Amino acid sequence: MKRLLIILATVMAITSCKEKNTLLSEWDTPYGIPPFEQIKMDEYIPAIKEGIQEHQKEIQAIIDNPAAPDFNNTVAALELSGLKLAKVNGVLGNLSSTERDDAMTKVDEEADALLTAHYDDIYMNKALFERVKAVYDKDQSGLTREQQMVLKKLYQSFTRNGVNLPEDQQQQLKEINQKLTDAQQKFSKNLLAQSNAFKEQFGIPVSSYSDEMTSCTDRERRKEMFLAYSNRGNNNDEFDNKAICLEILKLKAKKAKLLGFNNFAEYQLENKMAHDPATVDAFLDKIIAPAIKRAKEEIYDMQQIMNQDIKAGLLPAGSKIEPWDWFYYAERVRKAKFDLDENLTRPYFMMQNVRKGIFEAANMVYGIKVEPIADAPKYNPEVEVFKVSDADGSLLGIFMTDYFPRSTKRGGAWMNNIRDQYIDANGKEIRPIIVNVGNMTPPTDSLPALFTIDQVETVFHEFGHALHGLLTKCTYPSVSGTSVARDFVETFSQFNENWGFQPEILAKYAKHYKTGEVIPDSLVTKINNSAKFNQGFMTTELTAASILDMKWHELTEEQLQNVNVEEFEKKVCKEMGLIDEIIPRYRTTYFNHIFNSGYSAGYYGYLWAEVLEKDAFEYFKQNGIYNKEIAEKFRKTFLERGGSEEPMVLYEMFRGAQPDPGALLRSRGLE
């Protein structure tokens, strides 16, 4: 009896513990938004562990199913497994990049290690793979196209994660994956520390670097800022990333070799649109030469302005344009050529108005409506929450914005899924929760948040990702929304940038923060006339970073043994013909995209996708950019279908032809 009472007490204690864990309970909140304010830091790891345990049981049930493997009892069952874990990880994944204090860093590191081991166990499980393979090897004609794509993606997840390796090599791969997780965490931690140190040194966040470099008249200060910015992670101090970068690269190369590839770029590109490194290299080679040629013309124009400063005695004789001069003198050239001054445009781009602009554009093009949700749960007071509805009033999803820099937030701008879209086991459609995160100019004591033209483009860009996630109408989570090939996903974010400066849309949102006056037509004309300005620089730095990424990941494990990070980077830049006045958009030691953000051997995807989106927008322009029929076709072909079809098949369905590679060069004025 006493033993029974002890067992009952233990069970009740465990049950009570589970009930108290906010992450594991049912959320009685508007639209199932996570109750962020109620979640305690010590709840994450128990919730992750509980989610893993439940997922393991679901996996074992699939393996133990006595029925012959078919799509429903194996593939669909796998798709709908691990939902509790996904629920917890959706919250943690967002906060680990936006609220990364010491406590969150510790939680995230432990969670990452647990999750890495968990998913390794799944995708190296031979018994589970045998069931998937049995379905894959059958006649698939009875499956929908979406089901065929889900099955293909799942099969590749197993083969690309070592299921066919012998047990000893699987163990090696697991060790590599854990070491990669640890190294990537360290890279991210170092970069955040360096970015915060930059702010302490100069009084501005890293996200305001280009703004400050554009307006700063003190050349020595510009030089100091440039050197500090471009050497983040490269100062031979406790936050130096050179050794971590090499460790990550070596581990990736070793992983690729173990899986039968010559280098990590080959492994990474196998299931992308480009498919192989040679295709990417040839693609980038065609862009870098005309970009540098235009950049040299831009240097000439800037030098003429600098020469005026030399004559005025503001600079020593013989001064030449240096990397720390580019933003400043480019802005002066823009003022001279186009009479465009961002001090005149920014008052029309108050954050709240720009956000209204992305909503107005989506309404004009796709018919959707966005409205604020009062008193919605938030993970930070700066976050704002919105309900997104279709034209018929049906719910499309929940959208959050988090636009301003914090010391706990990593740099850049991005879109997160807190909850994916899919159809659950009961046939109920689960609509997504999407977040747009940024590091735009914050408000001050005297001014509201007023955005630059580039920041306006960034807001439209990230909302393009959000639309991809919000408008999706798939059955299975692995192909819904932005779950597409990495070199396809930026198509829709970049496509959405095209609407930001259309006169009809500007008239709806670009209003002076003081007077409410709509931006004058004369200023709109100047903005659009200058759209191709400085594209030599912008295309060169982007392409240079893409080439640097590829060259790092084309190295074999053996070639990486005696590499010096700085020397290799210099060699790559010299071979591509990069001029001294420009550095890659991201140098190696702060290239977060490729060392901790999923774009390894994939940063070229921005340019690759730009070919698609510029060609698509030319199609819009040929048929009227507000053509409802074309917009509906774009929505149904791309935004609703996610990864449920091969990217080029979808593109040809929409366009009626393959994309014209010249569309990118035309759009940037580089032909």
Interacting residues of 14 by C-beta distance below 8 A, sequence separation 6+: none
Q: Would you state the pLDDT for residue 671?
A: 81
Q: Which of 462, 490, 554, 569 is catalytic?
A: 462
Contact predicate 31/387, CB 8 Å? yes
Please say if the pLDDT value at position 302 is more than 80.
Answer: yes
Mean pLDDT (the chain, rounded): 95
Q: Which two tokens stand for residue 60?
A: 């074992």
Contact predicate 616/499, CB 8 Å? no
Least confident of 11-20, 61-70, 360-369, 594-603: 11-20
Please report which confidence band the pLDDT of residue 18 belongs to, taking 50, 70 and 90 as the band edges. very low
Please say if the pLDDT value at position 377 is more than 70.
Answer: yes
Tens-place pLDDT, residues 502-540: 999 999 999 999 999 999 999 999 999 999 999 999 999
Q: Would you state the pLDDT for residue 224?
A: 98
Q: Is 462 a catalytic residue?
A: yes
Please report which confidence band the pLDDT of residue 3 belongs to, taking 50, 70 and 90 as the band edges. very low
Q: Would you state the pLDDT for residue 458?
A: 97
Least confident of 9-13, 233-237, 632-636: 9-13
d(CA 401, CA 150): 31
Q: Which amino acid is at 271?
A: N
Tens-place pLDDT, residues 533-589: 999 999 999 999 999 999 999 999 999 999 999 999 999 999 999 999 999 999 999
Using N-to-C axis directions, what is the helix angle for 486-497 and 605-623, rounded to 10°? Answer: 40
Please report which confidence band the pLDDT of residue 496 belongs to, taking 50, 70 and 90 as the band edges. very high
Q: Would you state the pLDDT for residue 598?
A: 86
d(CA 501, CA 504): 8
DSSP string, 67-121: SPP-IIIIIIHHHTS-HHHHHHHHHHHHHHHHS--HHHHHHHHHHHHHHHHHHHH
Tens-place pLDDT, residues 144-181: 999 999 999 999 999 999 999 999 999 999 999 999 99
Q: Which two tokens stand for residue 265?
A: 């770029």
Interacting residues of 335 by C-beta distance below 8 A, sequence separation 6+: 341
d(CA 598, CA 323): 29
Interacting residues of 302 by C-beta distance below 8 A, sequence separation 6+: 321, 325, 326, 329, 330, 332, 333
Tens-place pLDDT, residues 385-397: 999 999 999 999 9
Q: Would you state the pLDDT for residue 19?
A: 59
Contact predicate 620/630, CB 8 Å? yes
Mean pLDDT on 444-469: 97
Mean pLDDT on 20-44: 96
Percent of the residues in the chain that have a pLDDT greater than 90, as a whole number: 95
Please say if the pLDDT value at position 1 is more than 60.
Answer: no
Domains of the chain plus CATH, in order, are 2-164 (1.10.1370.40), 197-338+536-603 (1.10.1370.10), 346-529+607-667 (1.10.1370.40)
Mean pLDDT on 257-278: 97
d(CA 296, CA 290): 10
Q: How would you class 31 by CB atoms within 10 Å of its CB: exposed for 0-12, middle for 13-18, buried for 19 or more?
A: middle
Please report which confidence band the pLDDT of residue 227 belongs to, taking 50, 70 and 90 as the band edges. very high
Q: Would you state the pLDDT for residue 10?
A: 45
H or E, element range at 384: strand 384-389
Tens-place pLDDT, residues 101-154: 999 999 999 999 999 999 999 999 999 999 999 999 999 999 999 999 999 999
Tens-place pLDDT, residues 45-82: 999 999 999 999 999 999 999 999 999 999 999 999 99
d(CA 170, CA 373): 48
Mean pLDDT on 85-91: 97
Please report which confidence band the pLDDT of residue 20 belongs to, taking 50, 70 and 90 as the band edges. confident
